A and B are shown apart, each in its own frame.
Chain A
Amino acid sequence: MKAGSNLEKLLAGGQFVVTGELGPPKGADVAVIERKAKLLRGNVDAINVTDNQTAIVRMSSIATAAILRQMGLEPTMQMVVRDRNRIAIQSDIFGAYALGIRNILCLSGDHQKFGNHPTAKNVFDLDSMQLIQAVKRMRDEHKVLGGDEIEGPPQMFIGAAANPFADPFEYRVIRLAKKVAAGVDFVQTQCIYDMDKFGQFMQMARDRGLDKKVHILAGVTPLKSVGMARYMKEKVAGMEVPDEVINRMKGAGKEKAKEEGLKICVEQIEQLRKMEGVHGIHLMAIEWEEVVHEIVERAGLLPRPQV
């Protein structure tokens, strides 16, 4: 075991894992975290805590993850390189580990242009690849990037993101291979709607033997409405929503759209479970945590295994 987290143990034991996501409040209100956590408890094996996602200021992922830990839940702390240089990053990882956080997801972060402080300076001292290397170096070599020895190395289970749908498509698997070489233990993908394209991506990953070296968790997000599907297709960078999915949401009509969204999501999970090399799903019910239990239950993934 590298970190001994719940997530690592389940993946090592060959379980098909379910991870969820929790966006911290736009303020200091702990009740928001408690409400969302309650909806996720028992339904997922670990909870990603986003780090100022879409560059909108929220409670820090470290603090939110620590609160989840106090509640007896397992967080995966997301960390972006947009807002911190290598000094702050490494310092925050020490702090996170000291607070009991054992999983980290290394990300670049959305550009600040898209958030509520578009005129901010960005940092990007490291990139996500280099962040993976830094966390691995801290864990395995007990050294910070500068070379100094660490007193009490943080033993993190290291995650990263993979987007099979950004361009150039052929490069996506190479980039995943680079993340694997950098030392990542698990990856969570961008939300998948185009199952064929994801199938091709997985085939390319298997051809390179990557599925044997890293746990790939497939990202799924239930659609609430045809408007959301269209927004995802047109406005979200690196996202592909096939017309077939949009037509299904449209065909369901306004009243049954949510049910159709859940149905699509459950079907996707069933297909993903059969895909070789997919070791779990990352269920991102964005500001819709209420449906997590139902999706996981209908997908036949309850009860979650205990370790």
Chain B
Amino acid sequence: MIIADGKPIKEILGMIERYDKVILAGCKGCVTVCSTGGEKEVGILSSALRLARQAKGKPLEVKEITLERQCDTEYLEPLREIVDGYPAVLSLACGAGIQFLAEKFRKHPILPGVNTQFIGVTEEQGVWTERCQACGNCVLDQTGGICPVARCSKSLFNGPCGGSKKGKCEIDPNVDCGWQLIYDRLKELGQLDELEKVLPVKDWSTSRDGGPRKRIREDLKI
């Protein structure tokens, strides 16, 4: 899923300073699962914003709403029904959801309440870590199911580099060396011979480097 982190309240207060009321829009997708922008967080942030503005003598009206998803037109209807009564929308969805709202509600400033971080997993309760950088050209079959692009700090394809020490990366002793993980995994699988091969220069054109991406399924289009 997409992992996001709530923006500092001070930053959000700065964004909405000029408004006396806003819609605070959560999303029931990824940001609910990573406890950043679901119904619960909408409630908490809404109270915090109102209290802070009350203390400043500039009360704020917050309309709370949590959409099924913000990245899909069909789920935006409940927001469409109320949006005209407010000057701006503060969204707690990921960057995709925020931008989609901005495309669909042309007259309203759509403000980001979160910092979108990465595609990752819930490693344990309250801990999320990165797994995929959406390079568009998967090599996990050759690397024991562990991604060298996302998990190696240098995105090396033929690691580990000389900075790998005791399973950790040179950038931080708390960061696992992605290539140590790959090595250990391939060893477990009895596939160490995979590491004998030189992985070729990568085609990055399927990644962000090739420009904004688009996927079309002609058979699904209406």
Give A residues with C-beta under 8 Å from B.
111-113, 118-122
**How far, in Å, is A117 (CB) from chain B's closest CB?**
9
Q: Which of A112, A113, A121 has the most CB of B within 10 A?
A: A121
Q: How far is the CA of A119 from the CA of B201 in the complex (A)?
A: 9
**B211 and A113 within 8 A (CB):** yes
Inter-chain contact A119/B203, CB cutoff 8 Å: yes
Residues of the B chain whose Cβ atoms lie less than 8 Å from the Cβ of A120: 204, 209
Asked if A118 and B205 sit within 8 Å, CB to CB, the answer is yes
CA distance A122 to B211 in the complex (A): 10
Expressed in whole angstroms, the Cα–Cα distance for A111 and B208 within the complex equals 12
Give the distance in Å from the alpha carbon of A119 to the alpha carbon of B204 in the complex.
Answer: 5
Interface CB pairs A-B, < 8 A, 19? A111-B211, A112-B209, A113-B205, A113-B210, A113-B211, A118-B205, A119-B201, A119-B202, A119-B203, A119-B204, A119-B205, A120-B204, A120-B209, A121-B202, A121-B204, A121-B207, A121-B209, A122-B204, A122-B209
Output the least CB separation between B206 and chain A (Å).
Answer: 9
User: Once the chains are docked, how many angstroms separate the CA of A111 from the CA of B204?
Assistant: 13
Determine the chain B residues whose CB is within 8 A of the CB of A113 once the complex forms.
Answer: 205, 210-211
A235, B211: Cα distance in complex, Å: 18
Chain A residue nearest to B206 in the complex (CB):
A119
Question: What A residues does B209 contact at CB under 8 A?
Answer: 112, 120-122
* Cα–Cα distance between A118 and B205 once the two chains are bound (Å): 7
Per the 8 Å Cβ criterion, residues 172-216 of B in contact with A are 201-205, 207, 209-211
Size category, B interface: under 10
Q: Known pairs A111-B211, A119-B201. 5 more at Cβ < 8 A?
A: A112-B209, A118-B205, A119-B203, A119-B204, A121-B207
Say how far B137's CB is from chain A's closest CB, in angstroms: 9
Q: Give the CA-CA distance A112 to B211 in the complex, in Å.
A: 10
Main secondary structure of the interface of B (DSSP, over half): loop
Residue of A nearest to B203 (CB): A119
| Chain A residue nearest to B155 in the complex (CB) | A121
- Residues of A within 8 Å of B204, CB to CB, are 119-122
**Which single residue of chain A is at the shortest CB-CB distance from B135?**
A121
CB-based nearest B residue for A120:
B204
Q: Which residue of B lies closest to A123 (CB)?
A: B209
Chain B minimum-CB-distance residue to A118: B205
Closest residue of B by beta carbon distance from A121: B204
Closest to A117 in B: B201
Most A Cβ at <10 Å: residue of B201, B203, B204, B209:
B209
Considering the chains assembled together, what is the distance between the CA atoms of A91 and B211 in angstroms?
A: 28
A120 to B209, CA, bound (A): 8
CB distance from A114 to the nearest CB of B (A): 11
Q: A219 to chain B: closest CB distance in Å?
A: 26
**Closest chain A residue to B210 by CB distance?**
A113
Q: Which residues of chain B have C-beta atoms less than 8 A from A111's C-beta?
A: 211
Q: What's the minimum C-beta distance from B93 to chain A, rounded to whole angstroms? A: 26
Residues of chain B within 8 A of A119, CB atoms compared: 201-205
- Specify which chain A residues have a CB less than 8 angstroms from the CB of B207 in the assembled complex: 121
In the complex, A113→B211 CA distance in Å?
A: 9
Instruction: A297 to B162: give the CA distance in the assembly, Å.
Output: 59
Q: Tell me, rounded to whole Å, the shortest Cβ–Cβ distance linking B125 to chain A.
A: 36
| Closest residue of B by beta carbon distance from A112 | B209
Write the nearest CB–CB distance from A266 to chain B, whole angstroms.
39
CB distance from A307 to the nearest CB of B (A): 44
Alpha-carbon distance between A118 and B211 when the two chains are bound, in angstroms: 11
- Chain A residues with Cβ below 8 Å from B202 are 119, 121
A121 contact set on B, CB distance < 8 A: 202, 204, 207, 209
Which B residue's beta carbon lies closest to that of A111? B211
B179 to chain A, nearest CB (A): 19
Nearest CB in chain A: distance from B59 CB, A: 38
